[in-house]
Amino acid sequence: MISARNIGVRLGGRAILDDVSLDVAPGEVLALVGPNGAGKSTLLAVLSGDRKPDSGTVTIDGRDVGGIRHGELARLRAVLTQENSVSFPFRVSEVVAMGRSPWAREVESRDDVAVVNEALEVTDVAHLGDRRYTTLSGGEKARVSLARVLAQHTPVVFLDEPTAALDLRHQEDVMRVARTMAQDGRAVVVVLHDLSLAGAYSDRLALIAHGTLDAIGTPSEVLTAERVERVYGLAVDLHDVGGHPVVVPRR
């Protein structure tokens, strides 16, 4: 579905990303993890077509992302960014319905109401439908924005730290939504900081360190005590809980 080859991004003479290659298949959740400043967000921006890489190529279904028109790209991939403020007091239902706008002139637009309602239900914000977005709490805004991305109904979904503003329960809920999307046959790429959360919900993990792809594979392949210690510079213990790796810093 998505294929990145030898991605390189330079900023002010410094390599932000260097020779990163990876593939994301339909039906899988790929988690991008790594220390602050490792280049995760830049990689996400390159994969989603926001940023043109200085070298290398990104393709969706074999087509170069940079060559796809705005409107069509919006029907192929949706992006949940970290910045989700809304300038004017739109209602929650209106904000989620904005996710349908790429489909406005397509046959799919007949499903608009159903898709929006389902997105509101799945993200647990249906009860906020008539509220003004600008009056919501940080966690509510994050979930409404997720609902908007869900309503866009694209085969590829990028989520940039979707759990950052959320409490424990809603973190789990959001990652469960990501899993459900993958089960529906979509390709999901999610940037996460919580290694245990990434280990529990992703099919594969890509560990980014100093702008390079340090390791990619199943959570238990990538998350070894030795590797996490080396990349993060922190001694950790790894536990196995129900078949998923759980990372605990040695305190």
Least separation in angstroms between residue 90's CB and another protein is 6
* Nearest partner of 187 among 85, 6, 5, 48, judged by Cα: 48
CB of 77 or CB of 170, closer to another protein? 77
Exactly one of 10, 23, 56, 91 binds another protein (CB under 8 A); that residue is 91
Sequence-ordered list of residues with C-beta below 8 angstroms from that of 119, at least 6 positions apart, any chain: 96, 99, 147, 148, 150, 151
Least separation in angstroms between residue 79's CB and another protein is 4
Q: Residue 176, Cα to own-chain centre: how many angstroms?
A: 13
Exactly one of 87, 168, 169, 250 binds another protein (CB under 8 A); that residue is 87
Count helices and strands (H / E) in the chain. 9, 12
Q: Is 113 in the site for another protein (CB under 8 A)?
A: no
**Residue 211 burial (C-beta neighbours within 10 Å; 0-12, 13-18, 19+):** buried
Q: Is 229 in the site for another protein (CB under 8 A)?
A: no
Torsion sign across C-alpha atoms 170, 172, 173, 174? positive
Least separation in angstroms between residue 194's CB and another protein is 24
Q: Is 112 in the site for another protein (CB under 8 A)?
A: no
Exactly one of 18, 23, 94, 194 binds another protein (CB under 8 A); that residue is 94
**Residue span 129-148 as binding mask against another protein, x where in contact by CB under 8 A, dash where not:** -------------------x
In sequence order, which ranges of the chain are alpha helices (DSSP H)? 40-47, 70-76, 92-98, 112-122, 138-151, 168-183, 195-201, 219-222, 225-232
Site for another protein in 169-198 (CB under 8 A): none
For 243, list phi and psi in degrees, rounded to 5.
85, -5
Sequence-ordered list of residues with C-beta below 8 angstroms from that of 61, at least 6 positions apart, any chain: 1, 76
Exactly one of 25, 37, 61, 104 binds another protein (CB under 8 A); that residue is 104
CB of 94 or CB of 172, closer to another protein? 94
Site for another protein in 22-81 (CB under 8 A): 48, 50, 70-75, 77-79, 81
Binding residues vs another protein (CB under 8 A) = 48, 50, 70-75, 77-79, 81, 83-91, 94-95, 98-99, 101-102, 104, 148, 152
